[in-house]
Amino acid sequence: MYQRLASLVSYPNAELFPALDACIQELASEVPDAAALLEHFRDAARELGQDALEETYIQIFEMQAETALYIGHQLFGEDWRRGTFMACLKDKYQELAFSSGAELPDHLSVILRFLAVEQPGPEKEELIGDCIVPALHKVLQAIEGKKTPYGNVLRALLLYLGPRRDGETESEDLSCRPSSSSLFPILP
């Protein structure tokens, strides 16, 4: 599922609609509200057409820093902590012989593809609950009021990822928590 979700937040290409259809089908019974949001996105994407969808993606996610899909940027801005976050991700990727390809290691699509190969455990839960979820909330706040079908994709992704596992609510502190088992042990 993470692989298919990664296709939905990547630059739109030929993989988008097959991945989208598979996500809708799988989520229909698991998380029906997420499936409904993806159906709305699919309808809007088809109506827009490939060229306009590509332009929409670029305008929303590549031309505006506040809506960029770089999790480290959303969490830390452009200070040294983002570099540390990316270095920690790269180390973890290398442990599993995972490649981020040409994309930076903190791009949402890369992290989702990584989650497809990462084993369940506290580091995976931390990456989801303390890094991806708050960053997605921040991006959604930034695109609020803008006409983009991609809001439905991000909302569906949040529904799939579920509420924070520790029962906490979203906070303004968007830093990943340090712990002895943390993927990011050197972050303050």
- Give the span between the Cα atoms of 135 and 170, in whole angstroms: 10
Directed axis angle between helix 150-161 and helix 16-30, to 10°? 40
Report the pLDDT value the prediction gives residue 143, as an integer from 0 to 100.
93
- Give the span between the Cα atoms of 134 and 140, in whole angstroms: 10
Q: How many distinct structural domains can be found in the chain?
A: 1
The answer to whether residue 178 sits within a structural domain is: no
What residue numbers bound the domain in which 106 lies?
Answer: 2-161
Report whether 59 contacts 11 (CB < 8 A).
no
Report the pLDDT value the prediction gives residue 101, as an integer from 0 to 100.
87
pTM of the model: 0.85
Angle, alpha carbons 134-111-158 (nearest 5°): 40
- Give the span between the Cα atoms of 153 and 156, in whole angstroms: 5
- Match 């708050």 to its residue by tokens: 134
- Give the span between the Cα atoms of 96 and 102, in whole angstroms: 18
Report the pLDDT value the prediction gives residue 182, as an integer from 0 to 100.
52
The answer to whether residue 154 sits within a structural domain is: yes
The answer to whether residue 146 sits within a structural domain is: yes
Report the pLDDT value the prediction gives residue 86, as an integer from 0 to 100.
93
The answer to whether residue 185 sits within a structural domain is: no
The answer to whether residue 38 sits within a structural domain is: yes
The answer to whether residue 53 sits within a structural domain is: yes
For each of the chain's 188 residues, which pLDDT tens digit applies?
A: 999 999 999 999 988 999 999 999 999 998 999 999 999 999 999 999 999 999 999 999 999 999 999 999 999 998 999 999 999 999 999 999 999 888 999 999 999 999 999 988 888 999 999 899 999 999 999 998 888 999 999 999 999 998 633 333 343 343 454 443 455 544 44
The answer to whether residue 51 sits within a structural domain is: yes
The answer to whether residue 177 sits within a structural domain is: no
Max intra-chain CA distance, the chain? 49
The H or E element that residue 86 is part of is helix 80-95
Report the pLDDT value the prediction gives residue 163, as an integer from 0 to 100.
60
User: What type of residue sits at position 36?
Assistant: A
